Amino acid sequence: MKFAIIAAGEGSRLSQEGVSLPKPLVRLQGEPMIDRLVRIFNENGAEEICIIVNRLHPQTEAHVRQLMAEGKGAPIRLAVKTTPSSMHSFFELSEWLDGAPFCLTTVDTIFREDEFAEYIRAFRASADDGLMAVTDYVDDEKPLYVGTDEALRITGFHDTDMGDRYISGGIYALQPKALDTLRRCMAEGQSRMRNFQRGLVEDGLKLKAYPMRKILDVDHAEDIVKAEAFLNSTRQA
């Protein structure tokens, strides 16, 4: 199984709020966010880790290349390109992800490590085309609501609350057939990961929701404080 990290955002809101480091290098509990994901992926049996960073922050590229040189854990593939959206970044990684199940997330997605391990185990045992991490904890400026039936099969993705219990957590475990949908979305000129997720439903892929208690994104300086508090609470638990 492969893992992938989208770390190609500009991080403009953090820099405007006085955070000097590029977002992937912001430390939580003393560990850069990108290192945290690489470590967790290795602990969950990664065969390969594919990462995309943008050209605007050479410091991030240099950091990842140092990780590659150290050679710890699974091999890392690195793409360096500034893209207009996360879906475009995903597309840049898709050639490396084809042919094997994979798990994709953005660099600033913060979750409990024990829940993530359970999630990956569930995906490996699943016969579905995708297992999408969801949460009922809403702390997002523009949440993507996830429609489900009683068996947690995903019926749709909504920009507004349609009576849905969960929102997308931004962690996607998918079979490689999902890349056909990605290619179609790109050919149609679509953008944004939420449009890709809608495309998966439109194309008839069997998706299930996997609830996690809490998933955070680090978009603002105050989110760093929230993420630290959350991780401290999980460590104490």
Looking at residue 11, its pLDDT comes to 73
Looking at residue 140, its pLDDT comes to 72
The structure tokens listed for 100 are 């094997």
pLDDT in tens, the chain (237 residues): 999 999 998 777 898 888 889 999 999 999 999 999 999 999 999 999 999 999 999 999 999 999 999 998 999 999 999 999 999 999 999 999 999 999 999 999 999 999 999 999 999 999 999 999 999 987 777 899 999 999 999 999 999 999 999 999 999 999 999 999 999 999 999 989 999 999 999 999 999 999 999 999 999 999 999 999 999 998 765
Residue 172: CB atoms within 10 Å: 23
**Pairs from 195-203 (Cβ < 8 Å, separation ≥ 24):** 195/87, 196/87, 196/90, 197/132, 197/144, 197/157, 197/168, 197/172, 198/156, 198/157, 200/129, 200/130, 201/154, 201/155, 201/156, 201/157
Angle at Cα 46 formed by Cα 119 and Cα 120, nearest 5°?
Answer: 10
**If you count DSSP H runs as helices and E runs as strands, how many of each does the chain have, helices first?**
8, 13
Looking at residue 236, its pLDDT comes to 63
For 142: left if phi > 0, alpha if psi spans -120 to 50, otherwise beta; the answer is beta
Looking at residue 191, its pLDDT comes to 87
Helix (H, G, I), strand (E, B) or coil at 109: strand
